[in-house]
Amino acid sequence: MKIILGSDHAAFKVKEQIKAYLRSLGHDVTDAGTDNEKPCDYPDIAEKVARAVVKGEGDRGVLLCGTGIGMAMTANRIPGALAATVHDRVTAEAARKHTNANIFCAGAWVLPTGEIENCLKVFLETRFEGGRHDKRIAKILKLDKK
């Protein structure tokens, strides 16, 4: 799977560990930044990752910041992006199974790196269930056109 990965300065060190983890699983990872711990604006990174995923340059996006909230809020402004802030394996699975999320967001201040890895593995391995969820996702995506 091709993954577009990004973080702000607060999660830079975690991003570097997650990048290595994803590659160890055999994924093709594109690093969208940031490249250091110098303060930067998370909306810039979130927009870059979300646009790449929506354009099909990656199968999934991964965004990391202090809490995951700002990244998700920003990514969800891009039409076609379905970003979910994940807190545990339950939310990781539901994000894919029920909402067909294409962008995983997590917080380096909220979860230890190992737990982010566990949640990310669940997220990447879970398929969208479809069925009754299709009409709900269609309603969400329709909002992009209003």
Active site residue 105: no
Locate the DSSP E strands across 8-140.
28-31, 60-65, 83-85, 103-107
Q: Which domain holds residue 27?
A: 2-145
Active site residue 40: no
Strand order in the sheet with 28-31: 28-31, 2-7, 60-65, 103-107, 83-85
Per the residue annotation, which of 9, 27, 40, 65 is the catalytic one?
Answer: 65
Locate the DSSP E strands across the chain.
2-7, 28-31, 60-65, 83-85, 103-107
Per the residue annotation, which of 40, 87, 98, 133 is the catalytic one?
Answer: 98
User: What is the domain-level CATH number for residue 32?
Assistant: 3.40.1400.10
pLDDT digits (tens, 9 = 90+) for 21-48: 999 999 999 999 999 999 999 999 999 9
Q: First-to-last CA distance in the chain? A: 32
Spatial contact of 117 and 125, defined as CB atoms under 8 Å apart? no
Record the pTM.
Answer: 0.98
Domain count, the chain: 1
Mean pLDDT by 10 residues, the chain (146 residues): 98 98 98 97 98 98 98 98 98 98 98 98 98 96 91
Predicted confidence at residue 146, as pLDDT, reads 83
